[in-house]
Structure 1
């Protein structure tokens, strides 16, 4: 097979490692097409046939003490590898997985315990279905990590290399997730399975919310498959990909058996484009108790709520309301500019049982009301040093912010930034989406923020908690207030509709640094990957 020529774009996507590493990519990008085979009609698949499963927890292979602050430190090893999964009965699907599974293993850790995660890229040189290069960058979404450990898009690790990521875990309890963030190919890599959950616990959250068996991850995504079972990828001219098969923890429309008590669900939409509007088939409320950055000040009952990809909402469902033998569905109501198929309005089902549980557990039968405040929720307009305005739009086929894109960042040798707040500065960012044709889930790295207005009105009730992603709907203008802390350095802001991010709705901001100033935490050069072993 002819070796592919390396364009500037692909060279930068691989972190500029050099011609030797680049020459190992042997499959032309155009040689493999995910559109070349017949497509499976997912709408003909019958929901609620398969049992609900949970991703496994990953245990540290070693524990120790952090030499800088004397706090506990866990060490983990994760391998990115190509594998085969059974997503649909009777078919095998090629995936990319952390430790070869989709979703990847969950890391659960206590606040204040450091984590060192060695991420090994043992993927093939190019994607087995799409032909795209498989240089990766791992982002722990929701962590205030140093820039060199934040998954900066152009800080990529080639197949055969590994990188150690250091996570401080000082933030309050929250649901995070780790996923690929490799420049220009995040969508294909996340779509193929490079997604996993990460949980930080603290004493406040443990006392207020269900734990263990009753603390349940729901990683919701969607996919389209070819007739042979392998992934079909068509992002419709980089507008987005909306699959016809809904997955929860990698299982299509699963059924979960539940006891007649309160459960906590950590809901993460980890698909690449689709947003959901969740509700229960019975009309009973979902009680929101946490958002992206942790606990809300108060519990918030909602009949339905809108949930974009990459947002996290933790909700309580009280199954004591239902009789044993009753089925309750988690449903998805249609939203503008999603593509709907025969069964995309269904997500999963809960079958209520009369199995015993510990009635002395204080979280079992009583819904909380008052939870915990957080720093972003205390910020006021009077504290803001400035208001910055960002406009999300499409120009000549590329997705842009204020008329700029990641190509402009690359052209400036990664120096140009859309904003330059100082460390500990409080700012208001206003995001305007004049488009009637697209919504944009905008993610701001490093910070937690509070959404203070939506089209000049109060935010939705369920958004009244610390956030790091804002759903900027069609013709909406959203304001959020945030403090830029604790690190200096360069961080990304981008749309989390991943085809939009890849083409090319992503910029950077610079905290506490002047343009061109020496940066000890340079996101590309200060913590480089090292040679590991040839990828199989």
Structure 2
């Protein structure tokens, strides 16, 4: 849809064109690879307790920029790396000592383009728009979600339980899960997409266990988090950088509804710095990569001076969101990461002495430049006795939902003519009369069987429809009805559980349509069943332990999950921050089965 809009959008003229050209020139004044990569400090709890303070700080995002005012975890753009041991509880007090005006200027501008200039979202500056007063008035209201943690509902960082300055969010994490690279970020209701921009966007949380220790993977200075995200920066009237962070919302359509493109920005940062460099020895390293962007997907590749990729023998995926893979997976076509996804990577620099390599985003529209950072390999050989293991997580067990396991269907609607929605569905009888009917979706599978589903929830305020029995293994199906092949994928995230991909299928979704309702507004449903086209492969990462999975247009992805963590009230949502804040987020509940059996009307309501 965005591609169609660009082709049909208005052209920049006059003062607007001059501002745009000045902004494009400003972006080119930042030289890449000047700043060293910051490595967040590592903190551990004492006697099972830890305090992390959210406070204001001034930091430099690039040595050529003025200082930037941020709200931070502990004073740095990326929070401290928290280390915990499997099975050892850690209680964290997330103290809110934030203050001052909201540190992000937000504007909203109508789309226009010049074929000779970068697109609006890939240019710094406000495009002549006034700063939004509603965003400027936001208080420092924040809540921390430990993403990937298997913990009780009261400790999950419920979006509406944010705290103001002078208060602390108290959370207890049991860490009863395999070694994994989790992360923490803000999750405040309605404003997550803005709060993460302030500096409350990311910090690593590493769970260690004995199985990981026995592998003797690169550690210490050779285990480094790579937290990747994009940002935009403000300019003054003369086109010079002010150091201020800018949230530029671009209105890509206004008929029949106003549609604002989820944020992407021109400048990619790694560990809080724009285009840094890292000096490395000629040996093996372990990198814990995380996509902490609002919306931008990445395809990570490491290129040499000639643009050639590292050989698969030197670049291996050993783990994904929720833990180690059973065995290493050679990286042959890059590492795809949608927002929220992680990759545990081994890289061998031993044959690259004296070379300079670039970590890049190999996808189209990567920002002002595809480069993310530079590796500078030492010219002398170093001692490195590490040998990559052939087997990793020997404890890994594939999730196999039994016959008759509960099945949940979650549908994501297209981004046009109105904002995408997240529908929870229940199977029902085929309706009588003509289709389409608002909220009715029919699906014809590979065997020719047609099933009919009806929408039972579509906003966060709708009552809970998915109640999971504690300990149950279920199938969750995510279906995208987006027709545009070029649209960004939806990263689908389940709180409180790790899952594994079971299948990916491609459908002809052309029969899903929007139509005017008699009372006004638009309904949506299928005119005829959407039809199965083919199966598509899952990656090794997607078959491993995950908590986010990439849902591309016209795909149906099935995952299997065993809900063996503490019961409670949790959320599932699209991890594009703008989408979750636009209500593409739904609560679900995990309860002991014996409690569910005593619920009023249990068994009398239609269940998925």
| Superposition TM-score tier, normalisation by shorter sequence | 0.7 to 0.9
Cα distance in structure 1, aligned partners of 2:213 and 2:23: 45
Residue in structure 2 matched with residue 207 of structure 1 by the alignment: 214
Residue in structure 2 matched with residue 145 of structure 1 by the alignment: 151
Structure 1 residues 383 and 81: CA distance shift in structure 2, 3 A: farther
Cα distance in structure 1, aligned partners of 2:457 and 2:185: 19
Q: Contact 2:151 / 2:565 at 8 angstroms: preserved in 1?
A: no
Q: Contact 2:459 / 2:583 at 8 angstroms: preserved in 1?
A: no
Q: Contact 1:260 / 1:321 at 8 angstroms: preserved in 2?
A: yes
Structure 1 residues 321 and 383: CA distance shift in structure 2, 3 A: farther
Residue in structure 2 matched with residue 100 of structure 1 by the alignment: 75
Cα distance in structure 1, aligned partners of 2:375 and 2:407: 45
Residue in structure 2 matched with residue 198 of structure 1 by the alignment: 205
Cα distance in structure 1, aligned partners of 2:358 and 2:597: 52
Q: Contact 2:360 / 2:373 at 8 angstroms: preserved in 1?
A: yes
Residue in structure 2 matched with residue 315 of structure 1 by the alignment: 345
Pairwise mapping of residues 114-513 of structure 1 onto structure 2 (< 5 A)? Answer: 114-124=89-99, 127-129=102-104, 130-131=135-136, 132-194=138-200, 195-208=202-215, 209-227=217-235, 228-236=242-250, 237-281=259-303, 282-284=308-310, 285=312, 286-303=315-332, 304-322=334-352, 324-335=353-364, 339-343=365-369, 345-354=370-379, 357-360=382-385, 364=386, 366-374=387-395, 377-382=397-402, 385-393=405-413, 394=415, 397-402=418-423, 408-410=459-461, 416-435=463-482, 436=484, 437-455=487-505, 456-512=535-591
How much does 1:408 deviate? Answer: 4.0
3-state SS of paired residue (2:402): helix
3-state SS of paired residue (2:246): coil
Residue in structure 1 matched with residue 512 of structure 2 by the alignment: none
Cα distance in structure 1, aligned partners of 2:287 and 2:366: 25
Cα distance in structure 2, aligned partners of 1:169 and 1:185: 28
Structure 1 residues 396 and 162: CA distance shift in structure 2, 3 A: farther
Cα distance in structure 1, aligned partners of 2:457 and 2:167: 25
3-state SS of paired residue (1:399): coil
Cα distance in structure 2, aligned partners of 1:158 and 1:298: 45
Out of 241-250 and 278-287, give the one that drifted further. 278-287
3-state SS of paired residue (2:561): strand
Structure 1 residues 153 and 517: CA distance shift in structure 2, 3 A: farther
How much does 1:233 deviate? Answer: 0.2
Cα distance in structure 1, aligned partners of 2:67 and 2:456: 38
Residue in structure 1 matched with residue 39 of structure 2 by the alignment: 54
Q: Contact 1:289 / 1:314 at 8 angstroms: preserved in 2?
A: yes
3-state SS of paired residue (2:282): coil
Q: Contact 1:384 / 1:425 at 8 angstroms: preserved in 2?
A: no
3-state SS of paired residue (2:261): coil
Residue in structure 2 matched with residue 8 of structure 1 by the alignment: none
How much does 1:397 deviate? Answer: 3.7
* Larger Rg, first or second structure (1 or 2): 2
3-state SS of paired residue (1:179): strand
Cα offsets for 1:465-512 (capped at 9, x unmatched): 100000111222211111112222211001111011111110011112
Cα distance in structure 1, aligned partners of 2:374 and 2:209: 30
Cα distance in structure 2, aligned partners of 1:125 and 1:229: 16
Q: Contact 1:273 / 1:309 at 8 angstroms: preserved in 2?
A: yes
Cα offsets for 1:194-243 (capped at 9, x unmatched): 12111111121122221111111101111110021111102334431111
3-state SS of paired residue (2:316): strand
Q: Contact 2:338 / 2:489 at 8 angstroms: preserved in 1?
A: no
How much does 1:514 deviate? Answer: 5.0
Cα distance in structure 2, aligned partners of 1:367 and 1:171: 24
Residue in structure 2 matched with residue 83 of structure 1 by the alignment: 57
Cα distance in structure 1, aligned partners of 2:23 and 2:171: 38
Structure 1 residues 419 and 47: CA distance shift in structure 2, 3 A: same
Cα distance in structure 2, aligned partners of 1:163 and 1:426: 31
Greater RCO, CA 8 A, separation 6+: 1
Cα distance in structure 2, aligned partners of 1:84 and 1:307: 29
What is the RMSD of the two structures over their aligned residues, measured on CA atoms?
A: 2.5
How much does 1:359 deviate? Answer: 3.4
Q: Contact 1:400 / 1:505 at 8 angstroms: preserved in 2?
A: yes
Cα offsets for 1:158-177 (capped at 9, x unmatched): 22211211111111100011
Structure 1 residue ranges without an equivalent (≥5): 1-34, 64-73, 519-536
Cα distance in structure 1, aligned partners of 2:43 and 2:555: 40
Cα distance in structure 2, aligned partners of 1:137 and 1:516: 33
3-state SS of paired residue (1:487): coil
Cα distance in structure 2, aligned partners of 1:354 and 1:319: 11
Q: Contact 2:231 / 2:245 at 8 angstroms: preserved in 1?
A: yes
Structure 2 residue ranges without an equivalent (≥5): 1-18, 105-134, 236-241, 251-258, 424-438, 440-454, 506-534, 601-608
Structure 1 residues 517 and 101: CA distance shift in structure 2, 3 A: farther
3-state SS of paired residue (1:241): coil
Q: State the aligned residue count.
A: 457
Cα distance in structure 1, aligned partners of 2:460 and 2:101: 25
Cα distance in structure 1, aligned partners of 2:93 and 2:37: 30
Q: Contact 1:399 / 1:504 at 8 angstroms: preserved in 2?
A: no
Structure 1 residues 151 and 420: CA distance shift in structure 2, 3 A: same
Cα offsets for 1:133-172 (capped at 9, x unmatched): 3321110011111101101111221222112111111111
